[in-house]
Amino acid sequence: MESQRVKNVVNSIEEISNNVDEQVATELELEKFNRIINRLDSFSNECEECEQYFTDLESHIKDLLEKNSTITEDDIKHHKQKINNSSTHLMKKHNLVTSGFYFSVYMPIGTSLGVVFGLLIFENIGIGLPLGVGLGVAIGAALDANAKKKGLVL
């Protein structure tokens, strides 16, 4: 259940999205900002840092709302920095991952192992490479699905 604070921030995000042009809205990553706000709120009862990040982002979005359609490049840079700080905290302290994280990690690992095993066992890189890529994709996709099922995706 969303708190009133989250609803106010989400409404402010929607208002900013309506007031600025599409390019600025894309650069502000408002969807990601919305997900981060919801996650910070869900952890704010037990994590003091999450409460601080939430309060900081809440005041930041009010500042952006006051600027209305005159958001500068510095504002966008500052906004992205705040998003990155908050998401880094969520990933490190609460073990959340971004969507596709395991896929992007295990595909190169599978590719590397496929090359090695292809050369050593099959003596043919053409056989090992697709097997390694397939294995990496399968493991990465399975771990991503598991993380999504457990609600650990940011």
Q: Where are the domains of the chain?
A: 4-94, 101-150
pTM of model > 0.85:
no
Is the Cβ–Cβ distance between 61 and 9 less than 8 Å? yes
Cα angle 7, 8, 11 (rounded to 5 degrees) comes to 85
Token readout for 119 is: 């050369």
Structure tokens at 140: 């990465």
pLDDT in tens, 57-78: 999 999 988 887 788 889 889 9
Confidence of residue 44 (pLDDT cuts 50, 70, 90): confident
CA distance 119 to 108: 17
- State CA 24 to chain mean position distance: 19
Please answer whether residues 153 and 102 qualify as being in contact, where contact means their C-beta atoms are separated by less than 8 angstroms. no
pLDDT digits (tens, 9 = 90+) for 105-124: 999 999 999 999 999 998 88
Q: Does residue 64 sit in helix, strand or coil?
A: helix
Helices (H), the chain: 4-19, 22-27, 30-43, 48-67, 73-94, 101-117, 125-150
Question: Is the predicted pLDDT of residue 8 greater than 70, yes or no?
Answer: yes
Nearest CA to 146 out of 89, 95, 93, 92 is that of 95
**Are 132 and 111 a contacting pair, CB within 8 Å?**
yes
